[in-house]
Amino acid sequence: MKSKILQILNEHCDTYISGEEISSKLKVSRMTISKQIRKLIEQGYQIESSTKKGYRFSSNNDVLIKERIIDNLHPFFYDIETMEKISSTNDYLKTLAFDKQEGYVCIADYQEKGKGRNGRSFYSPKQKGIYMSFLLKPTLSVYESLKITACASVALWEAIKKNYQIDSKIKWVNDIFIDEKKIGGILCEASLEMNTARMDYMVVGIGVNVHKQIFAKDLASVAGSIEEFSDKIISRNQLIKDILNCFYKYYNEIDKNTFLPIYKEHSSVLYKDIMVYEKNYSYPAKVLDIDTNASLIIEKEDGSTLTINSGEVSIRKIQENDF
Ligand code: BTN
């Protein structure tokens, strides 16, 4: 019932529709409609009501609406499931991975246990961000899988640029920063066929901090949201659509590596002095290049070169005593 009401309000965009009209469309009483709308408002949907005119979405609402996302979306993404809350969209999609074809998308308004890389959590407060995962069945080997993460980073970079004219930075391999603040990240998880080192499936999870939010103390100095950097009205539906369309553009020609020039041009680590963090130790290095698999080619302090395709890196700040 609630999703049908949301759909009707969405079809009427910013114009009012009377309670009577909604109730006759859904064949329920006006009392039921008014109760359901009250519940939706309690859940955070910004719906204006006027006794004379009826109901409409507030012009500044940013409700996730499937119909708005699929309008002009590439048919590769053939089905989109939106949900109010879930533990983690990545975990949920993994449970469906063998039953669904590639291109299946799930998007949640809130994640109770959003996951980041390396066992970290991803803060996913209600209606403040984009928490979405989609399913792929790539024919790539596991060694080439980093390319997919890189395509997703480029898609996020390009969607932010298109909508808000902001030049963000891509921090290897999958974090997006605006002015030193992390505003999004990507977590790809795959199931492997051990004999061939090919993937049965891959779940690409994208998290973006969209609206202003209060971050916990440990995140406050490093995390930010797009809204802090833009005066524009932000539509998660539009941003999601652009991220997905853009991702498909690069994924579809992944063998031609068309994502790579953009990935390199907006990389925050290319040619920089960095620290590389392995499981139990770290070491300084310089980034010489990013190869076609999106791996980092680095030079260690002893002059040897190395290609790394996992782990964490950070940009080394110039120390005062370096001068
Ligand atoms: C990172 O910053 O380390 C990666 C963050 C990835 C977060 C997204 S939100 C949607 C999907 N579901 C999850 O649990 N995680 C990813």
pLDDT score of 118: 87
User: pTM, whole model, 2 decimals?
Assistant: 0.85
Ligand 1 atom closest to residue 206's alpha carbon, by position in its atom list: 8
> Which residues, given as ranges, of the chain have pLDDT below 70?
13-14, 44, 59-60, 318-323
Distance from Cα 71 to the centre of ligand 1, integer Å: 25
List ligand 1's pocket residues with C-beta within 6 A. 88-90, 111, 114-117, 120, 122, 131-133, 175, 185-187, 205-207
The Cα-based distances of 305 to 77, 132, 287, 300 in angstroms read: 40, 37, 10, 6
pLDDT score of 303: 95
Give CA–CA dist 7/5, Å, rounded: 5
pLDDT score of 272: 95
Residue ID of nearest Cα to ligand 1 atom 8: 207
Residue ID of nearest Cα to ligand 1 atom 9: 207
pLDDT score of 81: 95
pLDDT score of 321: 46
DSSP for 221-286?
TTB--GGGG--SPP-HHHHHHHHHHHHHHHHHTGGGTTTHHHHHHTBSSTT-EEEEE-SS-EEEEE
Distance from Cα 302 to the centre of ligand 1, integer Å: 36
Distance from Cα 174 to the centre of ligand 1, integer Å: 10
Distance from Cα 54 to the centre of ligand 1, integer Å: 39
Distance from Cα 53 to the centre of ligand 1, integer Å: 42
